Amino acid sequence: MHRKCRERTLFCSTARADDARVSYGTNAVSFLSRAGEGTLRRAFRTDKMLSVEQIRAALPLALNETNLPLPNKRAGKVRDAYVLEDGRTLFVTTDRLSAFDRVLACVPYKGQVLNQLAAWWFAQTRDIIPNHALAMPDPNALIARTAQPFRIEVIVRGYITGVTTTALWYRYALGEREIYGYRFPDGLQKNQQLPEPIVTPTTKGETHDERLTPNEVVTKNYLDVQTWGRVYAAALTLFKRGQEIAERAGLILVDTKYEFGCASDGTVLLIDEMHTPDSSRFWKADSYISRFEKDDEPENFDKEFVRLAYAAQNYRGDGEAPRMPNDLWIQASERYIAIYEMLTGKIFEPGAYPIEPRLRENLIRAGIVIE
């Protein structure tokens, strides 16, 4: 594992319910040189992966939306949700790809990868915090415990990187030195490892997410101090578990987004997804140091290369998005499948396309949809 400098504590990782004000710190972030190397212990099985021709043929069939005979549909950026009876919700993960807070395209097999990979991660982390997952009746569908989502997203970052307007490197490159309540020194490089992971919350905006400091989550009444303390500590522990598992797969978990909510009985739940190529950045571990020292971008296994492709066209979410070639979406599909296999050690078994007939049949079989 990459060694981390621990010259000072950056923030408190827990909060007591009787605290009048939680101090998560505006301490200066101390940096040393990176060290340590990862080894690619388990490569994905390229001989079993879908061919470029198969993915290209699936492009016009990628799932953009669902129209199930169920009430209470809510469409998010990627998932369609149907509130069921008995405190359950059906989530269908489409193939929509979202970046810069908007949907840019549909990528074949992306929805299946996200749904199955999130379910796998939920099973690996149940001992840290309860999650909403109950059953997976279809490769693209999850039956979950209904929860009221908190009004914030909890991003944990282990490296200074990113090209979106809320990313650490983007803000730092603009000349900002106090970001999310943390002070950063001059002289940092893009993709440099942080001394310790930091929690950087954002709001859930209708169009754009807004940055918060950890203290503002409480002072602006997004969460009470006790709940935020629970969420804050859980996020750091989940991130540590994710980094350990990613390292065994020859990858670095760079940063990630968590969402939490409250069940009807008051239980705090991890919801939505976790440690997927949509919610996280993953870099190849064994080439990180050499590429960093040459100022080359890390080899990534997430959708960051899509963001970089748009950023190269001077697009970061404002105005009409430029058209991109189909080859970009084929590469995205290949990367999503690759990281699923690398992390889980399982062969990706693609579900049948078009998706909706198969989905309906499986939901009828599960008693969710009535003929």
- DSSP codes, 64-81: -----S-SSEEE-SSEEE
Summarize pLDDT for 213-241 with one digit per residue, the tens. Answer: 999 999 999 999 999 999 999 999 999 99
Q: What is the Cα–Cα distance from 184 to 149, expressed in whole angstroms?
A: 31
Q: What is the pLDDT of residue 21?
A: 33
Summarize pLDDT for 248-305 with one digit per residue, the tens. Answer: 999 999 999 999 999 999 999 999 999 999 999 999 999 999 999 999 999 988 888 8
Q: Residue 22: is its pLDDT beyond 50? A: no
CA distances in angstroms from 225 to 16, 232, 269, listed in the order given: 7, 10, 16
Query: Which of the residue ranges 62-66, 158-162, 208-212, 221-225 would you say has the lowest mean pLDDT?
Result: 208-212
CA distances in angstroms from 11 to 129, 191, 206, listed in the order given: 21, 22, 30
Residue 118: strand, helix, or coil = helix
- Angle, helices 304-311/326-344, rounded to nearest 10 degrees: 150
pTM: 0.86
Q: Residue 8: is its pLDDT beyond 60? A: no
Considering only the top CATH level, what class is 46-159+195-365? Answer: alpha beta
Q: What is the pLDDT of residue 278?
A: 93
Residue 98: strand, helix, or coil = strand
